[in-house]
Structure 1
Amino acid sequence: MDVLSDVLLAVRLTGAVYFDIEARSPFVAESPPTDKIAAKVAVDADHLIAFHVLTSGSCWVEAVDEPEPAVLLRAGEMVIFSSGEANILASAPGMRGQPDASRYYRPVNEALPFVIDITGDAAADRCRIVCGYLACDKGPFNPLLDSLPRMVHAPVSERSWGWMTSLLDAAIVASDERDAGQEAMLAKLSELMFVEALKTHIEGLPADTRNWVAGLRDREIGSALRLMHGRFAEPWTLEHLARDVGMSRSSLAERFTAYVGVPPMTYLARWRLQLAARLLQSGSGVAQAASAVGYQSESAFNRAFKRQVGEAPGVWRRRLRA
């Protein structure tokens, strides 16, 4: 399995399409920060990523409290707010609105998405926006979140994933009939579009970018990450890893740290704890989880888990269950 897919599975990425918006200018729609609505939108989510996909027309998008200028979003493009900032969709840059908290809840007697019609000038061009959220684990260790900018704009690439936008738009139209399974299909489509948007983002990074996602495309660092993710329970040493990658220990340690932010063995230790946390959430015992990710003793695992998470694994699991 490739490293990006491995991380997305380990952090339990799950999507939901919440709003199907049709709007004519002038219009503005402001979304609250996801930490203010997480308890209503996804009760058990550790973190919520917000996304918008424009399936027709064009509009402007910007973060509420960020200095970056507004970005023009065109049909077939996606924007992702990885940290869940409050954001604005509008017919012109600089417009401000008031988020409506009553719109954010998980319905029990109807299916998503909620349909919203923002009526402006009847003669103005129409745009259609699909909005939703992606829930994921933020801890114990999510290297993807730490390496993404606050706003990721995924334009239609040369490879073009516009067909996916068309598919999402068709599914939204079909959702008016509320067929069985429609909500789940939209959720999976949003996850698929998120992955494609990430791939477009990675491809467009400048050559001198140094972070985890840029490391995925680097030959040596990408190789080191694949080895550690694919064989995480092995007793890796820096010397062993460097030999398999074809670098000296010092060169690998320096280059890996420049990209990922931590040395290789620190990264491996944190990744093992993320995998162990998922095992604990799935019902594994502490000793079983420790052994599965490569720890030779339960006490060593307990110490490492408490150092990273702030509480012992058994206490952490009981708190989540409660």
Structure 2
Amino acid sequence: MDVLSDVLRNVRLTGAVYFDVNAREPWVAETPATSRICAQVMPAFEHAISFHIMLDGICWAQLADESEPPVKLSSGDAVIFIGGEGHFMGSVPGKRAEPNMDLYVRPSDRPLPFLLNGLGGEGKAARFVCGYLGCDARPFNPILEALPRMLRVPANQNEATTALIRMALAENEKPRAGGETILSKLSELMFLQAIRAHIDTLPAESIGWLSGLRDRHVGRALTLMHGRPGQDWTLDALAKEVGLSRSAFAERFTELMGVPPMSYLGNWRLQVAARLLEAPSMSIAQAAAQVGYESEAAFNRAFKKQVGLPPGAWRRSRANGGRLPA
């Protein structure tokens, strides 16, 4: 079981490239927090991650709250805002603008991306694409807390994907069937590559979900939990499988992951069950049993505690538009 792939699949990660922007210095563009526009740009999802990929030229990107210094992006670099925070980009660091809220709508009469020309003045040219990655935040998405708020992806970690995006964008003048889907899948690939590269840069002493993936004992436990979420796992059984004593395993897992092993397993079971419930033929009792609950009532209580509403109401909400109430 590939744990990272399993998580991305179960949280329904789905990409969309929205804007193909041609700008000239001096230019600045500000993007609102995705909490304000998620219902318009990624209507089937509770959360949206923002990303930008520089194709030509340079720019500076910064969080709107200015809590971190700006980062410089050159041709081939990308930047990802995991929490969907508001941010701004421009040819000069620190310059701000008001976001144009009219741009953030998913078109029904034409494919993405929108082509935006004429941003800025008459100086050096820059080109970049902007988009979103929709995903579930509930019941449980460990990726959203595992990555930094603003993640810069250097060009040398993204060369193949950027080249393919350039090729796909070249079809804009003569669009072909499937172009929007190609760009969608390429943005998902870019995100996966960014996570893998980030894992490789983590210090040996780092903690968190991504560090747990690469730890020999914790990573093995995660593989078992994700591979067989419905099994009647106990702390003793997991410790035996990974080759540690009960106490040593519990301590190591909790230290790295921030939660005890059985708490993590419970959270992940709810996420798997949420995906199972998307099938109309799947009853709540069947979903509960498949993820290891002996009682439908116990499953209902755990689901409501984590999500804020019982599984039946969650299913109806998803069927009626996809987004959960806040």
Following superposition, the deviation at residue 297 of structure 1 comes to 2.1
Whole-angstrom distance in 1 between the partners of 2:118 and 2:247: 58
Match of 1:13 in 2: 13
1:291 aligns with 2:284: no
**Structure 1 counterpart of 2:216, which letter?**
R
The equivalences for 1:131-280 within 5 A come to: 131-157=130-156, 160-280=157-277
> What secondary structure does 1:254 align onto?
helix
Match of 2:111 in 1: 111
**Structure 2 counterpart of 1:303, which letter?**
R
Following superposition, the deviation at residue 306 of structure 1 comes to 2.1
Following superposition, the deviation at residue 167 of structure 1 comes to 1.0
Whole-angstrom distance in 1 between the partners of 2:199 and 2:210: 6
Match of 1:50 in 2: 50
> What secondary structure does 2:89 align onto?
strand
Match of 2:323 in 1: none
> What secondary structure does 1:23 align onto?
strand
Whether the 8 Å contact between 2:27 and 2:121 is mirrored in structure 1 is no
Whether the 8 Å contact between 1:31 and 1:99 is mirrored in structure 2 is yes
Whole-angstrom distance in 2 between the partners of 1:319 and 1:163: 39
Whole-angstrom distance in 1 between the partners of 2:140 and 2:228: 18
**Structure 2 counterpart of 1:200, which letter?**
A
| Structure 1: 5+ residue stretches without partners | none
Whole-angstrom distance in 2 between the partners of 1:11 and 1:145: 11
Whole-angstrom distance in 1 between the partners of 2:226 and 2:119: 50
Following superposition, the deviation at residue 90 of structure 1 comes to 0.5
Q: Deviations over 1:171-195 (max 9, x none)?
A: 1122332211111111111111111
The equivalences for 1:51-90 within 5 A come to: 51-90=51-90
Following superposition, the deviation at residue 121 of structure 1 comes to 4.9
Whole-angstrom distance in 2 between the partners of 1:126 and 1:84: 27
Match of 1:300 in 2: 298
Whole-angstrom distance in 1 between the partners of 2:112 and 2:135: 19
Whether the 8 Å contact between 1:22 and 1:128 is mirrored in structure 2 is yes
Following superposition, the deviation at residue 239 of structure 1 comes to 0.8
**Structure 1 counterpart of 2:27, which letter?**
F
Following superposition, the deviation at residue 120 of structure 1 comes to 4.2
Whether the 8 Å contact between 1:30 and 1:97 is mirrored in structure 2 is yes
Whether the 8 Å contact between 1:78 and 1:197 is mirrored in structure 2 is no
Whole-angstrom distance in 1 between the partners of 2:152 and 2:204: 18
Match of 1:94 in 2: 94
Whole-angstrom distance in 1 between the partners of 2:72 and 2:248: 42
Q: Deviations over 1:266-287 (max 9, x none)?
A: 1001100000011112322101
Whole-angstrom distance in 1 between the partners of 2:32 and 2:302: 36
1:312 aligns with 2:313: no
Report the TM-score when normalising by structure 2: 0.94
Following superposition, the deviation at residue 256 of structure 1 comes to 1.0
Whole-angstrom distance in 2 between the partners of 1:245 and 1:2: 16
Query: Relative to structure 1, is the Cα distance of residues 19 and 247 closer, same or farther in structure 2, using a 3 angstrom cutoff?
Result: same
Whether the 8 Å contact between 2:303 and 2:309 is mirrored in structure 1 is yes
RMSD: 1.4
Whole-angstrom distance in 1 between the partners of 2:193 and 2:107: 28
Report the TM-score when normalising by structure 1: 0.95
**Structure 2 counterpart of 1:311, which letter?**
L
Which deviates the most, 302-311 or 50-59?
302-311
Whether the 8 Å contact between 1:55 and 1:166 is mirrored in structure 2 is no
Whole-angstrom distance in 1 between the partners of 2:302 and 2:255: 24
> What secondary structure does 2:52 align onto?
strand
Following superposition, the deviation at residue 146 of structure 1 comes to 1.6
Following superposition, the deviation at residue 23 of structure 1 comes to 1.3
Whether the 8 Å contact between 1:2 and 1:226 is mirrored in structure 2 is yes
